[in-house]
Structure formats: C-alpha cells, structure tokens
Amino acid sequence: MVIDLITLEKSPFPFAGSFAPSEIDLDIETTRLKNAVKVEGELTKRIVQTDVKGEIFAEVETECSRCLLAAELKLEIPFEAAFITAENYTEAKETELKEDDLDVSIFNGDKINVTELVREQILLNLPEQAFCRENCRGLCEKCGANRNLIDCNCEEKEVDPRWQGLRELKITK
C-alpha cells in the first residue's frame, strides 16, 4: 500500500488495509505470517514532516525456543512514525541522536510505502523467545527427545566433572 501525499485533500487522513502474507517478506526462516495482516491508522501531513500512527494486527507462527515445535503469536502493535524528506533532514556530520530521531524515516518523493512500515514494525515487535505453551518442557539434553511428548527417562543426575572431586571428599567428625 502506497499513499500519495500529493493527492491528500484532508489531514488527518484515515487509512486501513490488509496485506496477504506473500506481500510482506519477514526474511526469517523460522517465522511466517499465518493470515492477512491488518493495519489501520491515520496520516497527518505537516509542513516539514508527515506523521503516521495506527495499529497493526498480525498472527505469526514461529519456532518454540525450547522444543522447536510451532508457536503461534497474536500481535497487536501500536505504532507512530514520522517521515521527513531528505532535504529537510539535518545534514550536519556530527549531530547528537535523540530518542525521537529513532522514529523518523527519510523518504524521497511524495509517496509513503505503508507496506514497508508494517513489515518493519512486525520485525521490531517479534519476541526474542517464543514458547508453544507456558509450561513447555523443551528437549532432553541427552537424547534430544521432546519432553512434552514423551518421558525419555534419561538420567538427569549426572554431575559436572568439575565437581567430581567434591563427591569423593568425605567429612570426618
């Protein structure tokens, strides 16, 4: 979805859209979009910058961090972004970066690509660790079996060899 700023008649301009999973390439092997991604928000055109705010709704399937099975996540992502043309952005070589500058994007021309904004927000809001369920037991360190599916009965009492010397120590009274 591309919004042409020249054709905007009123500000704020409300927008809503839906993107098929094939339209948004997350570029992560273990993560994919399950359904269409929905976005709704408004665009406010100002003198120097254009502000975009709204919310993204997406369902993602990724690997469980413990057992590697599929984990489903529902994302509701509120976002705010500012777009500034290259000629209006600072050209100083040494400029202190402020927290507000992290939400500023530089664009050329009179069009804003909302699809790229949605992709970026989804990637930024994916959790570092995802779990198939809250009490996931993960994989066995010895045999690699999924402990959620079977009880492999591997001995878990193996002592780290660095502590073996303490096991041989006997306390006398």
Print burial letters for 140-150: b (CB count within 10 Å at least 16), e (below 16).
Answer: beeeeebebee
Rounded-to-integer distance, Cα 18 and Cα 5, Å: 20
Q: Is residue 37 part of a domain?
A: yes
**Whether 18 contacts 36, CB under 8 Å:** yes
Q: Per-block average pLDDT, block size 10, for the chain (173 residues)?
A: 74 89 89 93 84 93 93 93 71 54 63 86 92 92 89 73 78 71
Question: Tokens in use for 52?
Answer: 């975009």
Residue 170 confidence (pLDDT): 72
Q: Is 165 within a domain?
A: no
Answer whether residue 146 is part of any domain.
no
158 within domain boundaries:
no
**104/48 Cα distance (integer angstroms):** 12
| Cα angle for residues 105, 4, 126 (degrees, 5° grid) | 45
Say how many domains are in the chain: 1
pLDDT at 93: 47
Q: Which residue has the tokens 């570092």?
A: 128
Cα 53 to Cα 72: distance, rounded to the nearest angstrom: 26
Residue 128 lies in a domain: yes
**Residue 130 belongs to some domain of the structure:** yes
Residue numbers of the domain that contains 67: 2-140
| 27 within some domain | yes
Residue 46: the pLDDT is 80
